[in-house]
Amino acid sequence: MIAHIFEDRCDGCNNCVAICPTHVLDAGKDGAPVVARIDQCQTCYMCELYCTSDAIYVDPDQHHLHVVDPQAILESGHLGRLRHDYGWGREAGGDEGHLSDFWRLGPLLREGAEIAARRYAGRKA
Ligand code: SF4
Ligand code: SF4
C-alpha cells in the first residue's frame, strides 16, 4: 500500500492523483497530495512510477498498512528505485541504464503463484 509521501520532494504536479486507477489520492491544498482512500489502494506502484520527483514510497505489503520510518526509507535507497529499474528515471539524471530485475515484484508474484497452487489443490480435492 502507499505508505508515505515525502512532501519536501513533492512539486505538486498531481501526476500521482491522475494516474491512480482506484482514486486513492486527492490533490492537496498546499501542493502535496493527500492519501484519502487508503482502503482502495491495490499496491500497483503506478503512483510511484509516475512520480518524477521520487516522492512516493509504496510498501510491498498489499494487505496491511505499515507505519514506516521516512528516514529509514531515504537511507535504504528504495525511493525512486522502481522507476530506475524500469528505465523511467533517466530524465532525472539516471543514465546508467535500468536493471530490469523487477526486484520488488518478486514477493507479489510468489504470492500469486501460491494462491494459484492452493486453488488448484482445492479443485482437485
Ligand atoms: S507525482 Fe510526486 S511530485 Fe507529483 S504530486 Fe504526486 S507525490 Fe508530488
Ligand atoms: S499503489 Fe496504485 S492504487 Fe495505491 S495509491 Fe499508488 S497508484 Fe493508487
Distance 55 CA to ligand 1 centre (A): 6
74 Cβ neighbours under 8 A, 6+ residues apart: 6
| Block residue for cell numbers 505489503 | 61
- Rounded to the nearest 5°, which phi and psi values hold at 32? -65, 140
Residue range 97-113, pLDDT digits in tens: 555 555 566 777 788 88
DSSP assignment string, 10-37:
-----HHHHH-TT--EEEETTEEEEE--
44 ligand 2 Cβ < 6 A: yes
Ligand 2 centroid distance, CA of 96 (Å): 27
What residues are paired with 58 via a beta bridge?
A: 2
Predicted local distance difference test score (pLDDT) of residue 19: 93
Identify the structural domains of the chain with CATH numbers, from first to last: 2-124 (3.30.70.20)
pLDDT in tens, 33-83: 999 999 999 999 999 999 999 999 999 998 988 899 999 999 998 898 888
